[in-house]
Structure 1
Amino acid sequence: MVEKQLLVITGATGSGKTTVSHWLTEMYQIPQVVTHTTRPKRHNEVDGVDYYFETESSLAQKHLIESVTYSGYHYGSSHEALELAWAKSPLISLVVDTKGAQTYLETFGKQVTVLFLTVSEATALISRLEKRNDSPEAIQKRLASAEFKRDLMVSGPLHDQAQIIVNDDWQETQKTLTTIIEQLRQ
């Protein structure tokens, strides 16, 4: 096993990225790297756990590896957050969009395993966004964004590197993830 490994979890909004990362933490004690955002907290989110909720000026102070604007808000991940997670475990996970996944692959090379989550029917993504209580306006804004459309597909360098997981059936997804983790820990 490579000394420090990073599972980069990517895919469209609603594909299950955060659910997968939380499950990996629960089942395999794989810490999730906490990323930064300027978007407002949702009702069930905790600062420093789900994200570091930042202002524009506080985000500018971070040593970001990658950042993106998504639906008018800034998101990014920092070197400091990676090191904090690696201090807990040599295998960590990170949830980012496909552009961020590509940056991590280019920056960290063989340390990175990319998991691209998708669903067979895009309408399932809308249903998942509604279930997490996103406002109808926020859902429409996300669905109309260029980033959402980009994240529906695995392309470029990710196409050859990503392990594609169709997350239609959670139990099947768990089996696939278990196989991947067992391979990484060999």
Structure 2
Amino acid sequence: MDKKIIVITGASGTGKTTISKYLQDTYHIPSVITHTTRLPRDGEKNGVDYYFETKDSFLKNHYLEKVEYSGNWYGSSEESLNKTWAKYDAASIVVDTKGAVSYKEKYGDQAVVIFLEVDLDTVTKRLADRGDDKKRLQARITSDEFLRDLQIPTELAGKCYKIINNSIKATQESVNNILKIEKIK
């Protein structure tokens, strides 16, 4: 079987991490651990939620994609993906739309891209509910990256699955169907 990477993308607060966790809990599809220079939120653990890096250590990895977002670096390394593929046939990763384009270009049919979309009011409420402070929240939802991630990039048009995530049950059902179509699990 070909190795698959399920690339989950969309703007902040659209449910990307929730879907990644659903894949892990329901199908035992692990998430590729990504790297960041931001500080951990309460309850986050190094090597589980992210590899929390300094700016110097961050630059030592080989990235498929990396982005600076709200003053912090985020990226996914080839090392982390290969480590996951050594143990599993499928893995998931949460990235922004620019990262999703990179994965699709590099891995072609091995990259199954799921684009999550939610209306702006719902996203704003979700981000506030998870504890992002008001000033940072405002900066985030007006940033070029956030606005870019609200829509499917032209490079992915017709090459990804789009799910409007207003209901977690309906979204999970859509994900189940995608896995059947792609013959994953």
Given the two structures, how large is their TM-score scaled by the length of structure 2? Answer: 0.96
Return the letter of the residue paired with 2:114. Answer: L
Once the two structures are superposed, residues 53-106 of structure 1 have per-residue CA deviations (whole angstroms, 9 ceiling, x without a partner) of 111100111111111111111111101100111122111101000000001111
Return the letter of the residue paired with 2:143. Answer: S
In 1, Cα distance between equivalents of 2:159 and 2:181: 15
In 2, Cα distance between equivalents of 1:35 and 1:185: 25
Identity fraction in percent: 45
In 2, Cα distance between equivalents of 1:145 and 1:72: 11
5+ unaligned residues in a row in structure 2: which ranges? none
Is 1:31–1:88's contact at 8 Å kept on the other side of the alignment? no
Worse-superposed segment, 26-35 or 176-185? 176-185
Alignment coverage as a number of residue pairs: 184
Return the letter of the residue paired with 1:51. Answer: Y
Aligned-pair RMSD on alpha carbons?
1.0
Aligned to 2:178: 180
Aligned to 1:84: 83
**Cα shift at 1:16:** 0.3
Q: Superposed, which structure 2 residues align to 1:55-74 within 5 Å?
A: 55-74=54-73
In 1, Cα distance between equivalents of 2:131 and 2:87: 32
Q: Superposed, which structure 2 residues align to 1:49-128 within 5 Å?
A: 49-119=48-118, 121-128=119-126
Given the two structures, how large is their TM-score scaled by the length of structure 1? Answer: 0.96
**Cα shift at 1:183:** 2.1
Aligned to 1:131: 129
In 1, Cα distance between equivalents of 2:177 and 2:102: 25
Return the letter of the residue paired with 1:117. Answer: L
**Cα shift at 1:131:** 1.2
Once the two structures are superposed, residues 106-165 of structure 1 have per-residue CA deviations (whole angstroms, 9 ceiling, x without a partner) of 11111111000001x210001100111111122112112100000000021112211000
Aligned to 2:9: 10
